[in-house]
Amino acid sequence: MTSLVVLVAVAAIALKYWDYFNNPWTRNGQVRANIIQVAPRVSGPIVQLPIVDNQFVKAGDLLFEIDPRTYQASLDRASANLDETRDKLRDLEQQVKAAEAALDQSASQIEQAESAIESAQAELVRAKADFERASELVAEGSISKRNYDQTKADFDVAKADDQRARAQLIQAKAAQLQAQAELAGARAELGASGEDNAQLRAAKAALETARLNLEFSKVTASVDGYVTNLNLRLGSQAVANQPALALVDVNSFWVHGFFRETLVGKVRRGDQAIVTLMSYPDSPLRGRVDSIGWGIAQDDGSTGQDLLPNISPTFEWIRLAQRVPVRIHLEAVPDGVELRVGTTASVMVRTGTAGDEAGAPASAAPSALQ
């Protein structure tokens, strides 16, 4: 009976080792995650720092706050500028209306001047005819010199009235041109009407920019994650677009297994993977092959000193296989296992399991292979 138990145990161990030797396997695995470099959008001294290093935060939690007073003042100034712009536009609208009224008035003056010219011309024709007839009659002695002088005076007045009417027409046309120019200038300064006005849109954009800058003075977490390598202090100067701290996205963990190029040909996307963390050797993680890398960096041929290529010496009878990254999507993490970026793992891929929905139970890598 004891021999049978020992035989079964040896067979199970042998089967476990055979699984790892028969499938692509590597000790060169690493836990990875999305690392968010948190950078403020505005600059200023830090006045609030409610977090500590390695703290877990949820999306939307305050990480730190930059002194908001400068940005509040900018917001107030932008708001006042918007009110001033609206008042200016209302004044310009009144100027446009006044210019339109002046243009209408000049058109009316032109009509009046043209009517005056017609009346003056008719009077001039009549006065000229009377004067010519009086000239003939006075020569014949049919009228008195006094009547002749009156007729001549009426003719002179008619000529003066005609010239004055023509001058008024010229003046009215000049006033119309000036009114047209003033209207065009007022309309150009006013721009489009309503909410499409460029000055109004610019003032609104400045107000929105100031509002956003004030909002950006509070830097919040964009995802659930862990604050790491926190070196900020109260009073530190935060610089816009300069990373201030790192945030590990807790929902983005995956494992990179670096397989020899001789084994990658057997791996297919969707194959089941067993991940054994060095920090949790007895708690294997199940995963699936998410993707296989298409390239790695080359050392040989890179530019070195004096712009010459770097070439490493090699032994012709030894050929080292390159390592190709295989990305493993973790399907489940056992209770009590905490993933940490950069920690080491062993990865085994069960080939031919891409279509299996459940897959075989996960078993940790043998100690000798970890």
Residue position matching structure tokens 């058109």 = 107
Q: Could you give phi then psi for residue 300, rounded to 5 degrees?
A: -70, 130
Local confidence pLDDT in tens for the 370 residues of the chain: 666 544 544 444 545 555 556 789 899 999 999 999 999 999 999 999 999 999 999 999 999 999 999 999 999 999 999 999 899 888 888 887 887 787 788 788 777 877 877 787 877 777 777 767 777 776 766 777 777 678 777 767 777 877 887 788 788 778 778 877 877 877 777 777 777 888 889 999 999 999 999 999 999 999 999 999 898 999 999 999 999 999 999 999 999 999 998 888 889 999 999 999 999 998 999 999 999 999 888 776 677 777 778 777 766 666 777 899 999 999 988 888 999 999 999 999 998 888 776 655 666 555 555 5
Q: Left (φ > 0), alpha (ψ -120 to 50) or beta: where does 291 sit?
A: beta
CA distances from 366 to 15, 17, 203, 363 (A): 11, 7, 69, 9
Structure-block tokens of residue 370: 């970890």
Evaluated on CA atoms 107, 112, 114, 115, the torsion sign reads positive
Do the bridges between strand 344-350 and strand 25-32 make them parallel or antiparallel, or are there none, so unpaired? antiparallel
Using only C-alpha atoms, the chain has a radius of gyration, in whole angstroms, of 47
pLDDT at 251: 93
For residue 266, the 8-state DSSP code is: T
Cα(9)–Cα(21) distance, rounded to whole angstroms? 18
Cα(267)–Cα(265) distance, rounded to whole angstroms? 6
Residue position matching structure tokens 């007729």 = 151
Max Cα distance, the chain (Å) = 174
pLDDT at 113: 75
pLDDT at 369: 54
The answer to whether 162 touches 117, Cβ cutoff 8 Å, is yes
Half-sphere exposure of 329 (CA within 13 A, CB side): 9
Structure-block tokens of residue 65: 């706050």
Cβ-Cβ contacts under 8 Å for 69 (sequence gap 6 or more): none
Structural domains of the chain ordered from first start:
22-32+252-369 (2.40.30.170), 44-67+217-242 (2.40.50.100), 71-210 (1.10.287.620)
Cα(40)–Cα(244) distance, rounded to whole angstroms? 7
pLDDT at 10: 47
Structure-block tokens of residue 365: 């890598």
SS (H, E, C) 3-31: HHHHHHHHHHHHHHHHHHHHCCEEEEEEE
Model-level pTM?
0.71
Please, what is the end-to-end C-alpha distance for the chain in angstroms?
A: 32
